[in-house]
Structure formats: structure tokens, C-alpha cells
Structure 1
Amino acid sequence: MTDIDHLRQWIGREEVRSELLTPAIAERFNATFGLAGGTQDGDIAPLLIHLCLAPAVVSTQELGPDGHPARGGFLPPVPLPRRMWAGGAFTFHDDIRIGETVTQHSEIRDVSLKQGRSGLLCFVVVRHRIESDGRLVLTERQDIVYRDADSPGATKKALPPAPDGAHRIEIVPSAPLLFRYSALTFNGHRIHYDAPYTREEEGYPGLIVHGPMQATMLAQLAADIMGRRPERFEFRSLSPLFDNANFTLNATEEEGRLTLWTSYADGPVAMTAQAE
């Protein structure tokens, strides 16, 4: 039973975490994504590298069986087994520069329950304010969804295949790529690196490609096309991507904005995004 009144007591809870963005972190980030930007003090940091900074740190003994930290703490203790990053939005105010201390001010803004096709869903909305050496560089809305495990034999609605974008890049979701991003973000969630667990315990056909990593790739594609970082980037996850097939990054320009998405070559849209 999910006690929404108890969970809503977490609304307004805050935390602050900081980390120095060193050249070494930037170099590892660029190596993971195949980027060629500068990695010295004073260089502009790549987009969304802040997602790899100041992660929540708990001891290994305090992790749950899925590799996530035990429920409670800053996030509410939602008693549903599956947790995913459902979407979010970034408004960029300035650049983070390598060699600066990045501080994240976080606040729980909302907790709500909804009934979805697959069962009960609990949405948690978190607002982050990111500063770099005291300068406001971006504000972020993070949408987290908790849900029930899929029932054995459950069938899912077939979705139409995604179109090809005017800009299209193929990505190989290799195990080293997924492992490196988990390491960069200090993410112990086993669905991203433990294939036997992912198949046998959670019933997925392969390792799951991180939502934040897809968002990072799409944001970087938007910046490459526009020739500068976007002022606003918003994304939403629609269906998972696994490591058992290559996927594509796609973008189409429409009236000064970009519509972007990820998908398998012949599969449905996995993540959709807008960049302005």
C-alpha cells in the first residue's frame, strides 16, 4: 500500500552537494562520449557533465538488491520496485568551466500518484539549481517515476516505428560504454551493467541504456547542429533501449527549434526532446 500523505511529507525537503570539476573528470567524460573538447582549467565544460558531479554517496553495504541506495533519505521511500528517470528540463544560464566548484541545490517539489496501463505510478519532481564558483549556470527539473514490476506474460502495446531525422547518428550501446557512464555517475543500479541480474531478476532482454546518457547525447547533438549550447533543453523517456541492438540519435529543425529523439533503426521513439 502506498501512503501518499506520508510520501508528500518529503515535499520541500532540500539538500546541497558540491564537487570540484577537475581536468581528470572532464577527460574521462570526453573519452566516454568520444568528444574532443578542451580539458584544462578554464575550458568550457561539456554539456550535462554536471550529472556526473556530486552524486549521492552511500556505502556499498547500504545498497539495495538492485544496486540503488536504500529507500528514504532525500528522496521519499516509495514502496514500488522499479525506479526510472522519466524526463526533465534544463535551462542554461551560463557555462560551467573546468577547475570550478559545482554546487547543486536540490528540492523535492511534488510527489503524486497516478494509475497507468501497467499499474500504479508514483511521480517525484525534483528541482535543481546548479552553481559554478557561485554563478548560476543552469536550473533543472528532474521527473522520477516509480512503478510496479511487470506481470509475467504481460503484453505491451505495439508502438509505430520512429522516422529518420534529417540529422542521424548511429550509436553502439556497448557494455564498456554503459559501464563507463555508470562509473562517471557513481550509479550502482545493476540494470546498466549486470546482464544476468537484468535478465533473470528484472525480466529485461538486455542491459538498459541510461536515460541521462541518452539525454546527454541528444543535448550534445543539438549543440553541434546549432553551433552553441541551447538555452533550454527538455526531454521525456517513452520506452527503454537495450544493449542488444544499435540505436540512433535523430534531429529535425523546425522554426528555430530542434526536435530530437532516440530509437532503434526500426523501433519506436525511445526518448524525445526539444532544444531551443
Structure 2
Amino acid sequence: MTLPGLLDIEHLRTWVGKQEVMTDTATAFPVAALSATLDRDDAKPRPGDVLPPLWHWLYFLPLARHSQLGPDGHPQRGGFLPPVPLPRRMWAGGRFNFRKPLHIGEAITRTSTITDVSMKEGRTGRLVFVLVRHEVAGADGVALTEEHDIVYRDAPAAGEASPPPRPAPGGAQWRRDIVPDDVLLFRYSALTFNGHRIHYDRRYVTTAEGYPGLVVHGPLIATLLVDLLRRHTDAPLAAFRFRAVRPIFDIAPFAVCGAPGGDGPDGSKTALWAQDSDGFLCMEAEAVTAPG
């Protein structure tokens, strides 16, 4: 089925089943650097220390040559991910199961598999969804599994209205206010070798993309939500899921919030969310900590 604009979904679906294996070493420097970026007062990381949850995103970084980058700063389409011919690419969400810890200093391997490519017509135009499953293993075998949701969409039409915002939940027991200044976004982009210009190039993001300011990275928001949990409990994280709802821009502070739930046989659940300065929901998440 070929759609207008040369979007051949059947061709894109031939990427389903494609695998990529990457190896790395969980070195200490990016751990110390992310700790500083998140304004944590952690001890200097040492070999053998446990890698905090989601901090595996500091490794297995894409190293496309500069000549292979597209105009938005992303690597050119194709390769492992299908060459979806839609201009906007977003990290829409993810789901994680943590089986055992990773440790600083150990060799780690990530096996990535494209498990689905699908398309639908949304209110704002065409959407293509790519689902990637990652398995990250250390010396003791698979440590975590991750399902990564990527969505590609058309650029908005002139004068197109944004979806109506949803109010954030009430009843937060934990809250941390974040000022997403240029330095925070630059440091996170540098740590994750993310060249996407929407996170650091104000002229590009406001003129080419039409956003009101720099876009706060979805993975950074998810990391801040888990970091909020870590600031209030030492219980190990067993599972985590998040979904992006609304972009956050650097033009105003935002808040990460949490509301612990009850204990169950599978662990304690905590509702987590990020909200903008107007109180609208931007990311929703749930964490499950291991039973005590």
C-alpha cells in the first residue's frame, strides 16, 4: 500500500525482524557527568558500583559521521531503522523490566530488534510507529529489557491547532521543580551524543520546526522521573513504563511529581508524571519497585 508522499508502509515493514548488536563498556565518566547534570550529590563512581536504572542510555550511542547527518541533526534515514519519509521523529514512550543490575566497569551488550512497523491516519495527519525491543546484558546475562516506541509524523499545517491539553493528576506527594535551561539541555545532548537540533538550536527549532522554544528530551524527562523515585526510596526498580503526552519547552519551568501507591505481591507501584508550568500533563509513568 503506497500512500501520498511516497510513504510505502509495506516496504517499511520489511524492516520488521531486523537486528543490531552493539557492545560497550559501562565506564565511570558518563555516570559522574549525568549525576552532576541531574544535580545529584553522589559519590565518585567506582568499578563495581551499580548503574542506576535508565542510565544504560549513556552507552551504545550512535556514532554517525558528520557527513551522514540530516538537516535536523539526526543520522540520515535508513540503516537499522526504516527510512520513514516523515519529517518529525519523536521518542513516544517505553516499557522496561529490570532483572539484575549492571555494574560500572563491565562489558555490556545490547541486542536490538525491530518488532513492528505500523501506520495510521491521525487527527494531525499520517503517523508511523516503530517498535524496537532492546535486551541489555552484562557479565551475568540479560539485565534488562526495553520496548522503545518511536513515532514519525508529518509537519503540522499552517494554523493547525494543537490537541487539547490534559490536566496533570492531583495528589502529588513528591515534587521537584526543574528549570530546563540551555545548559541542562546541552549537557544531556552531549552525554547522549544526540545531535537533534530541536534540543539546542533555538533558531532552527523556532523557524524550521515551528516550536516556541527548545524541546526538552523525552528520555531526560523519564530519567528525571526515575531520579525523583530514587530520591525517596532505596527499593530496587523492577519495572517502569512511560508515555510522552505533550512537549515541554525551555521557556518555563516544569515539575516532576510522584504519588506512591499500595504494596502488592509484585512490589510497590508509584504513579509518576511531569507537568508544565500551566499544570498540564506532559509525561505519565508508572514505576514498580521490588517487594521488600
TM-score range normalised by the length of the shorter chain: over 0.9
Q: Is the 8 A contact 1:85 1:143 kept in 2?
A: yes
TM-score w.r.t. the length of structure 2 is 0.91
Identity %: 47
Q: Does 1:169 align with 2:176?
A: yes
Distance in 1 (CA, whole Å) between partners of 2:194 and 2:239 is 26
State the match for 2:245 in structure 1: 238
State the match for 1:131 in structure 2: 137
Distance in 2 (CA, whole Å) between partners of 1:96 and 1:241 is 30
State the match for 2:235 in structure 1: 228
Amino acid at match of 2:71: P
TM-score w.r.t. the length of structure 1 is 0.97
Shift of 1:86: 0.4
State the match for 1:31 in structure 2: 36
Q: Does 1:151 align with 2:157?
A: yes
Given the alignment, which residue of 44, 63, 69 partners 1:63? Answer: 69
Amino acid at match of 1:66: D
1:9-158 matched pairs, under 5 angstroms: 9-38=14-43, 39-158=45-164
Distance in 1 (CA, whole Å) between partners of 2:138 and 2:40 is 22
Distance in 2 (CA, whole Å) between partners of 1:111 and 1:174 is 35
Q: Does 1:7 align with 2:8?
A: no
Distance in 1 (CA, whole Å) between partners of 2:26 and 2:122 is 40
Distance in 2 (CA, whole Å) between partners of 1:122 and 1:5 is 12
Change (3 A) 1:190 1:2: same
Given the alignment, which residue of 212, 215, 234 partners 2:219? Answer: 212
Shift of 1:134: 4.8
| Partner secondary structure for residue 142 of structure 2 | strand
CA RMSD of aligned residues (A): 1.2
Amino acid at match of 1:259: A
Amino acid at match of 2:157: S
| Partner secondary structure for residue 256 of structure 2 | strand
Distance in 2 (CA, whole Å) between partners of 1:228 and 1:176 is 31
Shift of 1:265: 3.0
Q: Does 1:192 align with 2:199?
A: yes
| Partner secondary structure for residue 220 of structure 1 | helix
Shift of 1:47: 2.0
Q: Does 1:255 align with 2:267?
A: no
Distance in 1 (CA, whole Å) between partners of 2:287 and 2:53 is 13
Q: Is the 8 A contact 1:235 1:274 kept in 2?
A: yes
Q: Is the 8 A contact 1:162 1:266 kept in 2?
A: no
Amino acid at match of 1:14: Q
Q: Which runs of 5+ in 1 are unaligned?
A: none
Q: Is the 8 A contact 1:50 1:102 kept in 2?
A: no
Question: Which moved further from structure 2: 260-269 or 233-242?
Answer: 260-269
Q: Is the 8 A contact 2:165 2:246 kept in 1?
A: no
Question: Which moved further from structure 2: 84-93 or 249-258?
Answer: 249-258
Q: Deviations over 1:22-53 (max 9, x none)?
A: 12121112111122334111111222111110
